[in-house]
Amino acid sequence: MLVRINTAPRMSIDGHLAALAGEGMCYSEFRYRRGLEIFGEGEEPEYVYQIVSGAVRTYKLLPDGRRQINAFHLAGDMFGFENEAIHRFTAEAIVETHAHLMRRSSILEAVRNGGAGTKDLIKFVTQNLAHAESHMLLLGRKTSLERVTAFLLEMDERLHHPDVMILPMSRRDIADYLGLTLETVSRALSILRDEGLLRFDGNTQRRLELVDRDALAKIDA
């Protein structure tokens, strides 16, 4: 399952994990192959993760298989922190992913000792909450076109407005994030393309270029 590519603990030099537990804390680096489960809903949390490269989806399932993806995590993002003794969702690598791992117990202890990283931890959880709240607005009240547009703008922002956006996730992943079906996502993208707001870039359908960000922002109510 896990592919350990660096067993020797290393010092954290920058990034959130370092901020959380302070310098001098150590972590390991792991690699997860495309599609691999990183942890499962209900499992006992052992680590907190920061992505070095790759992409991760976190999701919940209903008993009959319906899936809701909470969030996508990209390079630099942290995920997997749990306050209670249980993972509230499953995490999977969307593509080959490298991540730094730090023991959850270290984080909790740092908080207990009034460590400097406490503020960062609160900030981290609060940002997740803010994201979840705006996603509830999307899921409860936006149309399919608004949802897909919002998704594109979110990814555009998180990828720092690249000329060509390379999406690591499939149409099905996008659909399960937006509370739609993959066909509806595909249709919405086609509409935006036909309206000239975006271009499918060349060969593959996961590379696309936002041509008119202002117009997209207007669609996203």
Partner DNA sequence: TCCCGAGCTTGAGCCGGATCAATCCCGGCT
Partner DNA sequence: AGCCGGGATTGATCCGGCTCAAGCTCGGGA
Residue 138's H or E segment, with its range, is helix 118-141
Cα 85 versus chain centre, distance: 22
Q: How far is the CB of 107 from a second copy (least distance, A)?
A: 10
Residues from 20 through 49 that contact DNA (CB under 7 A):
none
Residue from 4, 10, 88, 161 that binds a second copy (CB under 8 A)?
A: 88
User: Which amino acid does the sequence have at 196?
Assistant: G
Return the bridge partners of 79, or none: 49
Report yes or no: 50 and 122 within 8 Å, Cβ to Cβ: no
Residue 112 near a second copy by CB under 8 A? yes
Can residue 14 be called a binding residue for a second copy (CB under 8 A)? Answer: no
Site for DNA in 130-169 (CB under 7 A): 143-145
Are 211 and 197 contacting, i.e. CB atoms less than 8 angstroms apart? yes
Q: Are 142 and 150 in contact (CB under 8 A)?
A: yes
The contact pattern for a second copy, residues 184-213, with x = CB under 8 A and - = no contact, is ------------------------------
State how far the Cα of 54 lies from the Cα of 97, in Å rounded to an integer: 4
Nearer to DNA, 121 or 180 (CB): 180
Residue 85 interacts with, from a second copy, DNA, none (CB under 5-8 Å by kind):
none
d(CA 183, CA 123): 37
The least CB distance from residue 154 to DNA, in Å, is 17
Site of interaction with DNA (CB under 7 A): 143-145, 170-172, 179-187, 189-190, 200, 203-206
